[in-house]
Amino acid sequence: ECMYGNDDARTVEKINEDSLRYTYACITESMRLCPTVLQTARDLLKPLDLDGCVIPVGTRVFINLVKLHVDERNFDRPLEFCPERWVRWEDGEWIEREDEVESIDRKGNPSSSRVDNNKHTNDYCHNQGPKSNNPHHQSQNEHAETIPAANPKNFLAFSHGARNCVGKRLAILETTMMVAMIVKDFIV
pLDDT of residue 123: 32
Single out the residue of 51, 70, 59, 50 nearest to residue 157, CA to CA.
70
3-state secondary structure 37-93: CCEEEEECCCCEEECCEEECCCCEEEEEHHHHHCCCCCCCCCCCCCHHHCEEEECCE
Does the model's pTM come out above 0.75?
A: no
- Give the single-character DSSP code of 184: T
Contacts of 56 (CB under 8 A, 6+ apart): 44, 47
Contacts of 25 (CB under 8 A, 6+ apart): 83, 84, 85, 86, 87, 94
Q: Is 151 helix (H, G, I), strand (E, B) or coil?
A: coil
By the 8 A CB rule, do 54 and 44 touch?
Answer: no
Backbone CA torsion sign across 41, 44, 49, 53 = positive
Residue spans of the chain under pLDDT 70: 1-16, 18, 102-145, 187-188
**pLDDT tens digits along 7-61:** 444 444 566 676 788 889 999 999 999 998 899 888 999 999 989 999 999 999 9
Q: Is 95 helix (H, G, I), strand (E, B) or coil?
A: strand
